[in-house]
Amino acid sequence: MTEPRTPVTARSEPEAPEAPARGNAPPPGQRVAVGLDAVAKRFATQVALHPLSLAVAEGEFVTLLGPSGCGKTTLLRIVAGLEIPDEGTVSIFGADVTDRPANKRPVNLVFQRVTLFPHLTVAENVGFGPRLRRVPKAQAAEKVRAALELVRLPDFGGRRVTELSGGQAQRVALARAIANDPQVLLLDEPLSALDLEIRRQLQAELKEIHRRLGLTFVYVTHDQEEAMSMSDRVVVMREGRIEQVGSPVEIYRRPQSAFVARFLGMSNVVEATVTAAAGDWLELGGAGLPLRAPVPASAPAAGQRVTVVIRPDSFEITPALPGQAAGGDVAGEVTDVRFIGSLVHYRVAAGSRDWQVSARAGSAEILPEGAAVQLTWRPDEVIVMTEPGRSGS
């Protein structure tokens, strides 16, 4: 199906409260694989999705990330055609598919649960799509073979579905979706039911398959590590709205709301007041530590209440040497230590509160509970958000 290129125009619209999050479109010049325009969905008792818009570029790996109930799966199913939106339109490569039933859309979905047909063999499952489209046998067989090879199960064609392990089953499900030659591949938390090791393995394989096929992937997960490690862009969702869209690096370094920060694992989210605003920097008080931070786009004035986020990995922690008072460092005491293997998570009491500090374990000595330490950090890594818990980009 060749679609005409859809020009992506930049136009700022004065939006009232339901403004879709910025950054939800790919750079101009790229074809839009999936276009969602003011899509909203209500279920009997609640709103699943407030009107939102999103554009996924051709070949992108986009992940919808958020806690359960945030609407990410509903959104994915709307793209798949298994749910019909109450408002808005869905387009695939420029063609409006909003009214098209799921079986007529050029997309395929890999479900969270195993949905392989138990009465068919692996090969018959993978060849199901081609069979429906009456693809000639030889061609279909070739597609099946290629797909199975892609998921690294080349000899599994004759196996019964009931004999597969969880990881193998999801691979076959992936092969089945791919063998159908979709224009967009949708994946609904396909790995969440698997063991950690298999999950890691499949994450890597998925990324590899994405690279090889150049296919547009839309992925859904609640695991922020998974999202960050695989995606080109991450769409953070919450309660039916898009909170923030951006690349993993961007989202991690510049979260735009307390929610996003916390969801990504940054646990140092504190309230503070601007004590002075001078040029490019803010002075902040009431946070328990003397803080300076770069002025965010929303440019708060002195006296304003703001939310401050410092990532645990922004801190540097060193044992306090007696008698030494290093300028700019803050003294503290370790109150909790958690050794995770490659990282150590400390809880440090400094200033008037506790701070989460993470450090690479390496071969350095791990500081024990009760140790006196010094914390230092780079002021330009301090993130400031104004009410209501949002910062400008």
Partner 1 sequence: MGIGQGVLIPARRGRLRQPARAGRPRWSLLLLLPVGIALSLGFVLPLALLFVKSFETSLGYGQVSGHLTFSSYVTAVTSPLYRTVAVNALEIGGIGTVVTLLLSYPLAFFIRFRLRRGQNTILLLIMISLFAGYIVKIYAWTTILGTYGVINTGLERIGLISQPLSVLLFSKIAVLIVVTYLSIPVSVLILVGSMQNVDRALLENARDLGAGGLRAVTSVLVPLSATGIVGSLAYGFVVISGDYITPQLVGGTTGQMIGVPISDQFLNIGDQPLGSALSFLMLAVFILVYFGLSRLERFKGV
Partner 2 sequence: MSTAVIRLRRRLRRRGIGLLRVYVALLLLFLFLPLAVLIVFSFSASGQLRFPITGLSLRWYREVFATSAVTSGILASLEVAVVTGAIVATVGTLAAVVVQRYPFRGSGVVTGVILAPAALPGLVIGIALLNFFGDLHLTLSLMTVTVGHVIYTLPYFYLVLSARLRRFDPALEEAATDMGAGPVQRFRLVTAPLIAPAIVASAFVVLALSWDEFQITFFTIGDQSTLPLVIWSRARLSIDPSVNAIGTLMVAGSLLVVLFTRRFIAESYT
The residue ranges that bind partner 1 (CB under 8 A) are: 8-13, 20, 22-28, 30, 32, 35, 37-38, 42, 51, 53, 55, 57, 59-60, 62, 83-89, 98, 232-233, 245-247, 250, 393
Residue 239, contacted partner among partner 1, partner 2, none, CB below 5-8 A by kind: none
Residue 108, contacted partner among partner 1, partner 2, none, CB below 5-8 A by kind: partner 2
Residues of this chain, 178-207, that bind partner 2 according to CB under 8 A:
180
**Measured CA angle at 254 (ends 249, 256), to 5 deg:** 125
Could you say which of 102, 146, 337, 361 contacts partner 2 (CB under 8 A)? 102
Of 173 and 264, nearer to partner 2 (C-beta) is 173
Binding footprint of partner 2, residue count (CB under 8 A): 23
Of 65 and 107, nearer to partner 2 (C-beta) is 107
139 binds partner 2 (CB under 8 A): no
- Shortest Cβ distance from residue 10 to partner 1 (Å)? 5
- Shortest Cβ distance from residue 385 to partner 1 (Å)? 18
Residue 12, contacted partner among partner 1, partner 2, none, CB below 5-8 A by kind: partner 1
Residue 55, contacted partner among partner 1, partner 2, none, CB below 5-8 A by kind: partner 1
Q: For 66-84, give one letter per residue: b (16+ CB within 10 A) or e.
A: beeebbbbbbbbbbbbebe
- Shortest Cβ distance from residue 25 to partner 1 (Å)? 5
Residue 363, contacted partner among partner 2, partner 1, none, CB below 5-8 A by kind: none
Could you say which of 18, 87, 119, 253 contacts partner 2 (CB under 8 A)? 119
Site string for partner 2, 6-45 (x = CB under 8 A): ----------------------------------------
Of 166 and 392, nearer to partner 2 (C-beta) is 166
Output the CA torsion sign for 257, 260, 266, 270. Answer: positive
Q: Point out which residues bind partner 2 (CB under 8 A).
A: 80-82, 101-104, 107-109, 111, 113, 115-119, 128-129, 132-133, 176, 180
